[in-house]
């Protein structure tokens, strides 16, 4: 699915306040700002871990583990995306639409399909925010997200600083009050975790810190510049926008089946060996799924190379 080559967004009437600034940006070839190098097709591998609800009288969770293959394709949206203002003058955004597909590397099963948009938002006066980026995504399981944040360039210290992450569940609203389950430890037998061929290549190191896969991938690379794109659905984390919506089934009745309550992600666009354009894309994403009184981290990571 692609946008028609003749399709160009055209604000009617034009957004006059931004006209000069946007014309200058277009002349320089980067109305997308730091999102520009996302455009194209990316493929690679990664790791997905998700605690999911389990309809069982005794154990109400299941830990699914997947080594993954992934394709991420971004297409620039031609023209400006107008936003009409009431308490401040109009603004234009510029963006890319994308399609993400993830499969299990061991079994070939399709795991994830996600259409969405990344967009650059100019600085605003009401609310008073600097230039930001926004990610809008639809997940077929029944969740839509709007995550907003910022972008930073790192030319002087180009190697990304990729922090640890974990999959430790905690009581909802209290991250310090954590739980401990046999499924977190591969040396403990359990019927409530991926088994057999699906576990091939999965190590305890990955369960302890899924982001270790990203650090290992770049350990011997010569990364000469990088851009970090960071967004969150939490209105208190980065900027004032953002949120998550779930279907009625996920929200449940007396208690949720599995509500996605927060989504945060960091993407790194990386140039290797002083190349002119980023050729590597890494990301880590953390979704909190709330069910059975706990928040269960769902973490996905991948390292992708430009193929188009």
DSSP line for 46-87: EEEEEEEE---SS--EEEEEEEEEEEEEEEE--B-EEE--SS
Percent of the chain with pLDDT over 70: 93
The H-or-E segment that residue 263 falls in is strand 259-272
pLDDT of residue 25 exceeding 50: no
DSSP character for 237? T
Which of these, 118, 75, 76, 69, lies nearest to 227 by C-alpha position? 118
Tens of pLDDT along 259-293?
A: 999 999 999 999 999 899 999 999 999 999 999 99
Domain boundaries in the chain?
A: 16-306
Q: How many other CB atoms sit within 10 Å of the CB of residue 248?
A: 9
13 upstream amide cis, omega within 30 of 0: yes
How far, in Å, CA of 190 to CA of 261, rounded?
28
| Phi, psi of 32, rounded to the nearest 5 degrees | -80, -5
* 207: Cβ contacts below 8 Å, ≥ 6 apart: 49, 65, 167, 184, 185, 186
Q: What is the pLDDT of residue 237?
A: 57
In the block, residue with structure tokens 């089946």 = 257
pLDDT band of 76, cuts 50, 70, 90: very high
| Phi, psi of 301, rounded to the nearest 5 degrees | -135, 155
pLDDT of residue 22 exceeding 80: no
Say if residue 10 is exposed, middle or buried (CB neighbours under 10 Å; 0-12, 13-18, 19+).
exposed
pLDDT band of 213, cuts 50, 70, 90: very high
In contact, 168 and 178? CB cutoff 8 Å: yes
Give the CA angle between residues 17, 129, 157 to the nearest 5°.
110
* 3-state DSSP assignment of residue 26: helix
Looking at the domain that runs over 16-306, which CATH code has it been given? 2.40.128.20
Task: Give pTM, 2 decimals.
Answer: 0.92
Beta strands in the chain (DSSP E): 40-53, 61-76, 81-83, 91-104, 110-121, 124-125, 128-129, 132-139, 143-154, 170-171, 223-232, 243-246, 259-272, 280-291, 294-306
Mean pLDDT score of the chain: 91
Question: Lowest mean pLDDT: which of 57-66, 167-176, 235-244?
Answer: 235-244
* 136: Cβ contacts below 8 Å, ≥ 6 apart: 116, 117, 119, 144, 145, 146, 147
């Amino acid at each position: 699915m692609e946008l028609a080559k003749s399709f160009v967004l055209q604000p009617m009437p034009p957004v006059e306040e931004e006209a000069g600034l946007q014309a200058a940006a277009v002349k320089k070839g980067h109305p997308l700002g730091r999102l520009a190098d996302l455009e194209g097709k990316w493929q690679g591998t990664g790791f997905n871990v998700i605690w999911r609800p389990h309809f069982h009288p005794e154990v109400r969770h299941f830990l699914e583990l997947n080594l993954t293959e992934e394709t991420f394709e971004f297409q620039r949206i031609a023209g400006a995306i107008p936003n009409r203002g009431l308490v401040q003058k109009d603004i234009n955004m510029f963006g890319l639409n994308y399609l993400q597909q993830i499969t299990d590397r061991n079994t070939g099963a399709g795991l994830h399909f996600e259409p969405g948009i990344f967009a650059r938002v100019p600085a605003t006066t009401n609310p008073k925010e600097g230039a930001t980026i926004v990610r809008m995504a639809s997940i077929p399981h029944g969740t839509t997200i709007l995550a907003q944040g910022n972008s930073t360039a790192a030319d002087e210290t180009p190697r990304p600083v990729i922090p640890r992450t974990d999959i430790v569940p905690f009581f909802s609203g209290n991250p310090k009050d954590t739980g401990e389950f046999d499924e977190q430890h591969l040396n403990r037998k359990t019927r409530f975790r991926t088994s057999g061929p699906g576990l091939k290549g999965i190590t305890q190191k990955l369960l302890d810190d899924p982001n270790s896969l990203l650090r290992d991938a770049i350990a011997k690379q010569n990364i000469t510049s990088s851009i970090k794109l960071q967004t969150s659905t939490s209105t208190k984390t980065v900027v004032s926008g953002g949120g998550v919506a779930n279907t009625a089934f996920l929200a449940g009745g007396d208690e949720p089946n599995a509500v996605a309550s927060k989504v945060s992600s960091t993407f790194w666009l990386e140039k290797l060996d002083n190349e002119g354009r980023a050729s590597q894309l890494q990301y880590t994403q953390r979704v909190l799924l709330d069910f059975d009184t706990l928040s269960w981290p769902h973490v996905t990571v991948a390292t992708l190379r430009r193929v188009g």
